[in-house]
């Protein structure tokens, strides 16, 4: 018989013993504290680089300039401007107590507001096609915006002129702000629309500006126009069969060369509408009189196709296709010079034998491309030496010393001798979004 004492000993042994599997369990691995990675903003990096030195709070003139810039900013398309101006004024008032955190916060708010405003100026122009990365709208980095401001001899003066992208924009903007002061706002809405189409900063001091609405070209150097001439732009029409627009589109690109004595690549709709019916009626010989030839491709050295092998009735009906070019002659629709630039739409500038068109007040007469009133003068300016296409009868490519940016835009309000000239809305784009249809190349 087991004694009570022995039972207690056994019970104690059972209760106090540790199972073998528990003894083998490893100690839990300590969990590391989560690592917080701070995402430094351009403003953070700017102040870190200058050891948190203030940019704005000791410069009352610059503060006032920035607040006014932001209050005016809706005219530049930056609609958040007035709200930011109010926030800045409140932050400055809070910082007057001398609290270091409030002072730093106000200074950083002003820096971030300047970044937001400046970057908004470098957004793509609505409806514009960019054919070259060099002129493509590209906002500067926040750090570069602040670094430029910090280096300026006068921060206030820098803020007062930071919106000045080009001479046309500067004059339109001033006029828009004056109009906005009128009780009914005057023409400020129309001027703001035109500002959106003039919002570009040329990467070169030498550039070309073409206004479709007034059918005029300007050559700019070092911030001022050095010459101007009339141009002919696309018709305000839609090609019935294809549905393509004949309007000259808004474009930005870079010109690198000219072509003397160019072939004219005849647009499809003109082949179909004018040339093919004549060839079908009169025979292929009708092409020879106007120096047309059929080619297998648009390459630089294409295979010439016998026009007798083409079904001209089918081409006229739109069921067959023929590529035609016109040889360099006095009657060639390209004239003596052509100025191509990449844009993806086949639009270029060129001379013309039809000088009578420049006597017209409304010069929407082409099939999309842009005809020059004085092509030789334009070529001489682009080349930096006299353009002499008459020195050769063959087609010849002549490079420019450097690429020259070109901006083709649509301005129904335009600076003119210190005033604003209002042009006819020839395409109706002021009443609707710009037509993005591909314009037909040629003429």
Give the residue numbers annotated as catalytic, written as ranges: 350, 369
Q: At residue 395, what are phi and psi to the nearest 5 degrees?
A: -65, 130
Q: How many CB atoms lie within 10 A of CB 377?
A: 15
Q: At residue 194, what are phi and psi to the nearest 5 degrees?
A: -70, -35
CA distances 74 to 182, 197, 327, 399, Å, are: 16, 15, 52, 42
What lies within 8 Å, CB to CB, of 391 at 6+ separation is: 260
CA atoms within 13 A on the CB side of 283: 1
CA distance 437 to 46: 44
CA atoms within 13 A on the CB side of 361: 2
Is residue 263 within 8 A of residue 297, CB to CB? The reply is no
CA distance 364 to 215: 8
Radius of gyration for the chain, computed over Cα atoms and rounded to the nearest angstrom: 34
């Amino acid at each position: 018989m087991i004694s009570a004492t022995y039972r207690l000993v056994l019970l104690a042994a059972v209760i106090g013993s540790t199972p073998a599997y528990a003894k083998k369990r490893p100690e839990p691995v300590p969990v590391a504290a989560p690592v917080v990675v701070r995402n430094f903003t351009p403003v953070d990096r700017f102040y870190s680089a200058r050891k948190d030195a203030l940019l704005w709070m000791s410069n009352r003139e610059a503060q006032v300039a920035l607040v006014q810039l932001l209050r005016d900013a809706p005219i530049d398309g930056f609609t958040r401007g007035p709200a930011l101006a109010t926030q800045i004024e409140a932050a400055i008032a809070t910082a007057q107590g001398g609290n270091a955190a409030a002072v730093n916060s106000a200074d950083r708010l002003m820096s971030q507001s300047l970044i937001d405003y400046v970057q908004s100026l470098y957004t793509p122009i609505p409806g514009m096609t960019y054919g070259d990365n060099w002129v493509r709208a590209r906002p500067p980095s926040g750090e570069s915006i602040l670094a430029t401001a910090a280096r300026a001899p006068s921060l206030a003066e820098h803020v007062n002129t930071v919106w000045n992208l080009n001479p046309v924009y500067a004059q339109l903007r001033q006029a828009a702000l004056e109009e906005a002061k009128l009780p009914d706002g005057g023409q400020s809405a129309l001027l703001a629309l035109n500002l959106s189409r003039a919002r570009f900063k040329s990467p070169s001091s030498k550039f070309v500006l073409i206004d479709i609405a007034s059918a005029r070209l300007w050559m700019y150097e070092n911030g001022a126009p050095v010459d101007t001439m009339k141009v002919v732009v696309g018709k305000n029409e839609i090609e019935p069969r294809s549905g393509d627009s004949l309007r000259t589109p808004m474009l930005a690109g870079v010109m690198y060369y000219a072509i003397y004595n160019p072939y004219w690549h005849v647009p499809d709709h003109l082949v179909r509408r004018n040339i093919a019916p004549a060839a079908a009626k009169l025979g292929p010989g009708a092409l020879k009189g106007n120096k047309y030839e059929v080619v297998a491709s648009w390459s630089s050295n294409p295979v010439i196709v016998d026009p007798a092998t083409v079904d001209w009735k089918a081409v006229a009906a739109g069921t067959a296709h023929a590529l035609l070019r016109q040889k360099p002659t006095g009657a060639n629709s390209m004239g003596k010079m052509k100025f191509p630039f990449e844009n993806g739409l086949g639009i270029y500038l060129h001379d013309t034998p039809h000088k009578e068109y420049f006597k017209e007040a409304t010069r929407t007469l082409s099939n999309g491309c842009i005809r020059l009133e004085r092509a030789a003068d334009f070529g001489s300016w682009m080349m930096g030496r006299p353009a002499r296409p008459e020195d050769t009868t063959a087609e010849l490519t002549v490079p420019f010393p450097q690429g020259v940016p070109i901006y083709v835009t649509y301005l129904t309000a335009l600076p003119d001798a210190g005033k604003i000239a209002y042009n006819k809305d020839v395409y109706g784009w002021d009443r609707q979004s710009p037509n993005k249809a591909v314009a037909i190349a040629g003429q």
